[in-house]
């Protein structure tokens, strides 16, 4: 689509084109409401876990093609004061930094499969079913994901991927799902889950703005409302009332602080690494 003149001069034309192409009618989507009668009693004894990660970008200014990755896992039992916090970290070549971070996060999730809890992952799994990455990288991600989903089913541990602000287009081709559904869903309503591969995907409105994207293994299809009640309870006790408490907490732990980044850079930035070390980082796992 092209116009004569500057972009700013054509704003009115662009607005009109988008207005004409707005989604007039939603597809036949069934929506339901989640009701939580007693938050305090629901939370008592509820055991949840959250996993999140962060990374330090490659140290290119020092001629070093690698960075650092870190993941944190927090397990909380509501009402008892009991919690458990663990970390994992490592270094990776710039070409596989994101993948290594994901592997750390998956590893930490696998370690708690088999426990009676709800395991939250801060992010999306369904993105790995897209073609927006190279086939080699896509296969590597899918291998990790498929092993995790299989273990979740075998050990019967509920696994939940949560995306606060999603830009996915699982339902609509020309618009982000969360933007189209923001006025369709009322508070604490969700759409009937759709299946993508071995995942179930739904949108759940837990804050007044945009619905969150929730993903879970397909084997949990009979426990969807139960899972959403857990999410709703976690959101209601968080500081924002729209983001799960367990993910809010674990995100703070997982984040690599600026001071830690500076110390990491000082520790490795002045070193001259051997070719052998760099080649190890690029070798296949």
Among candidates 122, 102, 119, 101, which has minimal Cα distance to 111? 119
Topology at the third CATH level for domain 31-271: archaeoglobus fulgidus dsm 4304 fold (3.30.2170)
Calculate the CA 240 to chain-centre distance: 18
d(CA 92, CA 99): 9
Q: Of the given ranges (91-95, 150-154, 184-188), which has the lowest mean pLDDT?
A: 91-95
Report residue 9's pLDDT band, with 50, 70 and 90 as the boundaries. confident
The answer to whether the CB of 149 falls within 8 A of the CB of 197 is no
Strand partners, 162: 122, 214
CA separation for the pair 181, 184 (Å, rounded): 5
Interhelix angle 135-155/97-110, rounded to 10 degrees, is 10
What is the average pLDDT score of the chain?
Answer: 87
CA gap 24, 251 in Å, rounded: 38
Backbone φ, ψ for residue 170 (5° rounding): -75, -30
d(CA 103, CA 143): 10
Band of pLDDT at residue 47, cut at 50, 70 and 90: very high
Distance CA 56, CA 267 (A): 13
pLDDT at 231 over 70: yes
Q: Say if CB 75 and CB 117 are below 8 A apart.
A: yes
DSSP assignment letter at 230: H
Residue 169: burial class (beta carbons within 10 Å; 0-12, 13-18, 19+): middle
CA distance 250 to 73: 7
In the chain, what are the domain boundaries?
31-271
Instruction: Please list the residues that pair with 160 across neighbouring strands.
Output: 120
Cα Rg of the chain (Å, integer): 21
As given in the structure block, the two tokens for residue 214 are 């929730």
258-281 pLDDT tens trace: 898 888 877 776 555 555 555 555
pLDDT attached to residue 22: 60
In the predicted model, is pLDDT for residue 19 greater than 80?
no
- Whether 167 shows a pLDDT value over 90: the answer reads no
Split at pLDDT 50, 70, 90, the class of 15 is confident
């Amino acid at each position: 689509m092209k116009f004569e003149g500057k972009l700013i001069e054509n704003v009115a034309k662009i607005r009109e084109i988008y207005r004409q192409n707005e989604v007039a009618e939603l597809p036949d989507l069934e929506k339901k409401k989640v009701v939580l009668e007693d938050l305090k009693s629901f939370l008592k004894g509820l055991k949840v876990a959250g996993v999140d990660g962060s990374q330090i970008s490659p140290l290119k200014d020092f001629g070093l093609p690698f960075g650092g990755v870190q993941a944190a896992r927090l397990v909380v039992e509501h009402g008892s004061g009991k919690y458990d916090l663990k970390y994992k970290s490592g270094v990776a070549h710039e070409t596989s930094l994101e993948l290594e971070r994901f592997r750390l996060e998956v590893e930490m999730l696998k370690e708690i499969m088999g426990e009676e809890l709800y395991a939250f992952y801060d992010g999306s799994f369904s993105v790995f079913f897209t073609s927006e990455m190279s086939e080699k990288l896509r296969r590597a991600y899918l291998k990790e994901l498929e092993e995790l989903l299989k273990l979740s089913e075998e050990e019967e541990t509920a696994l939940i991927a949560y995306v606060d602000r999603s830009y996915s287009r699982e339902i609509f081709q020309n618009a982000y799902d969360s933007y189209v559904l923001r006025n369709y869903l009322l508070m604490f309503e969700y759409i009937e889950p759709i299946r993508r591969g071995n995942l179930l995907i739904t949108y759940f409105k837990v804050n007044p703005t945009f619905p969150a994207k929730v993903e879970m293994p397909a084997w949990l299809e009979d426990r969807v409302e139960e899972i959403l009640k857990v999410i709703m309870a976690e959101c209601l006790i968080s500081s924002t009332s729209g983001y799960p408490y367990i993910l809010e907490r674990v995100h703070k732990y997982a984040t690599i602080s600026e001071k830690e980044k500076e110390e990491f850079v000082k520790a490795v930035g002045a070193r001259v690494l051997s070719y052998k070390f760099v080649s190890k980082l690029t070798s296949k796992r």
